[in-house]
Amino acid sequence: MMKILVVDDEKDVRVLFEQRFRREIRNGEVAFSFAYSGEEALAYLREHFSEVVLILSDINMPGMSGLELLRHIRQDYPVNPPPPPPTVMMITAYGGQHSYEEALRLGADDLLTKPVDFAALKEKLHLLNNA
């Protein structure tokens, strides 16, 4: 089972993801956790780091931005020690060329554009799971 942490300040994201991945959750393929801010996400990771395989984070958030969160994750959990670092996918707003480049520089594994294309996302998860 793949544990996914979704970070977004919009609370409705939870409902949306749960409904979109209804079948997968039911089948026990994936499990979602949700954090509504960067700080919350870091707090969650401190306790459940080894479990989390994938982090999906919005970039534009009040308080700690997605990019800051990304930097923390890459600093706090370097590449080498036994539990492999989580894959991080950033979700950028349409046309945010600058944050796109910044995210890649900070070590994001992939970038998704809002509105999220769930079919494509499922495809990516499938590939990640099989890898």
List contacts with another protein (CB under 8 A): 10, 12, 16, 19-20, 22, 93-95, 97-98, 114-116, 118
Smallest gap from Cβ 81 to another protein, in A, equals 37
CB of 36 to another protein, least distance (A): 14
Q: How far is the C-alpha of 37 from the C-alpha of 25, rounded, in Å?
A: 23
Give whichever of 73 and 103 is closer to another protein, judged by the CB atom. 103
Distance (Å, whole) CA 78 – CA 130: 23
Query: Whole-number minimum distance, CB 94 to another protein, in Å?
Result: 6
User: Which CB sits closer to another protein, 33 or 60?
Assistant: 60
Q: Which is nearer to another protein, 62 or 78 (CB)?
A: 62
Q: What's the min distance (Å) between Cβ of 12 and another protein? A: 6
Helices vs strands, H then E, count in the chain: 6, 5
Mark out the alpha helices in the chain (DSSP H runs). 12-20, 22-26, 38-48, 66-76, 97-105, 118-130
Neighbours of 117 (CB within 10 A): 12
- Whether the link from the prior residue into 115 is cis, omega within 30° of 0, is yes
Q: Which is nearer to another protein, 33 or 113 (CB)?
A: 113
